[in-house]
Structure 1
């Protein structure tokens, strides 16, 4: 027969797990360091750092104090390049844009450059409010962040592309993505865009976000909920067709304040040639 103490212990386990997943893990970020080998990397970039941030979800559900704390820690790392892979906000009206405007000056920037793409939540309700996305892009531009919307830019000889959001119906390739002047690296919020046509000739890295790693993952099992068609796109590195490499960042923010076994992520890549 089970004792009262054993019974209370059994009740305590899910209660503690629930408290942990609600109060601790959603704001307990992990700093992940990885290598990024790039074919034809300009010599000036060898050994330098690229830092990826994703899915901030500035709004009613993510604490500004938490984000500002992470931003300050990242700034002390002095990355050479910072790349944001979308979902800067969770839009709930004009007040969200004002909140984001107040935080924008705190966004970490790279010593040599800062680039970004937009995500579905940056496009407002039903991902169809282009004026909201334009406002987010303008706020970013005002603080020195280059927003790439199906375009590419060279940062001290390193060519970086950015694909606009898939769910907003804005993602497409083009001359900016392929050919002799193809970027070495592409930012793309939703990893499902990697399975769309238009990547022929591109064999570099793709940095994405969007999935939050599923936010909750039972030990030794895949996350039960993922906002992607391709269920293998959870988090981390994936080899794709055509020699492409995909990295999915787990994001900093959330839509629902719960994370279990999927801590928020800041990714720091060391660039090297190959």
Structure 2
């Protein structure tokens, strides 16, 4: 190979690397995708057929990326006029008390469902080492004040749909049996559970239905046609999207709206919109 040809090749490769780096840092982390999926729910009342349930997860309000992106994303979601909205944890990326004011500022623009708006906490909502109960309580108070009902091992029936919320697996208040052992089998249920690893635990008491999770961010960076190399779960099958658990349960893992580090490749941020069906 001639020296000039070799240098041109090196320059082209370097240029491609710069472009890819800029894309993963400045483009894809803010390239929001609204994904649409049917959600068949057993025992669903006829009046809820065709209604929409929007899942927003892992906003990670903090200092790691511009909060204006979250506000703009909320505004786009509001334009879809969802019937139900559920938030599946990690409202903040807690570093210090300044996140409380930032959370309040962002969630002044929170997306609300016409029929109901509920959520659960994630591990980051429990502060450092997921052990600061006072942080979780303050996060709960703030988002409750913004019109989001937080379920901490609790259930709430909203317009005929029973929403079950589990507290975070890694944190201090993980008590799934306290709510899963008492579900009425005649009601239509949807379970919110931040960490999808919980689906492998023997706590479900025969539950059959949907489980909505987040936590993984889809790995944030994923080589084409391969699994994401970095996932904060034990079961590496739980990366993103719909998973048939083959026992009557269906898991959906949202890819997250926010991120801990402002880098994404082949894993766009996501807001999920489900259309309710009788199942």
Give yes or no for TM over 0.5: yes
**Residue deviations 1:200-226 (CA, integer Å, cap 9, x gap):** 220010000000000000011101100
Aligned length, in residue pairs? 274
Map residues 96-245 of structure 1 onto 2, 5 A cutoff: 96-174=99-177, 176-179=179-182, 181-182=184-185, 184-245=189-250
Asked whether the equivalents of residues 171 and 193 of structure 1 are also in contact (C-alpha less than 8 Å), the reply is no
- Greater Cα offset, 101-110 or 210-219: 101-110
Asked whether the equivalents of residues 207 and 247 of structure 1 are also in contact (C-alpha less than 8 Å), the reply is yes
**Residue deviations 1:94-153 (CA, integer Å, cap 9, x gap):** 111111112222010101010100000000000000000000111111111110000100
SS of 2:79's equivalent in the other structure is helix
**Residue deviations 1:166-217 (CA, integer Å, cap 9, x gap):** 0104222235324551561000000011111210220010000000000000
After TM superposition, the runs of 4+ consecutive aligned structure 1 residues lying more than 4 A away are none
Equivalent residue, structure 1, for 2:255: 250
RMSD over aligned CA atoms reads 1.2
**Residue deviations 1:21-51 (CA, integer Å, cap 9, x gap):** 0010001111100000011111111000000
Map residues 256-271 of structure 1 onto 2, 5 A cutoff: 256-271=261-276
SS of 2:179's equivalent in the other structure is coil
Shift in Å at residue 241 of structure 1?
A: 4.6
Q: Unpaired segments of 5 or more residues in structure 1?
A: none
Distance 1:172 1:19, change over 3 A: same
SS of 2:277's equivalent in the other structure is strand
SS of 2:234's equivalent in the other structure is coil
Equivalent residue, structure 2, for 1:70: 73
Q: Unpaired segments of 5 or more residues in structure 2?
A: none
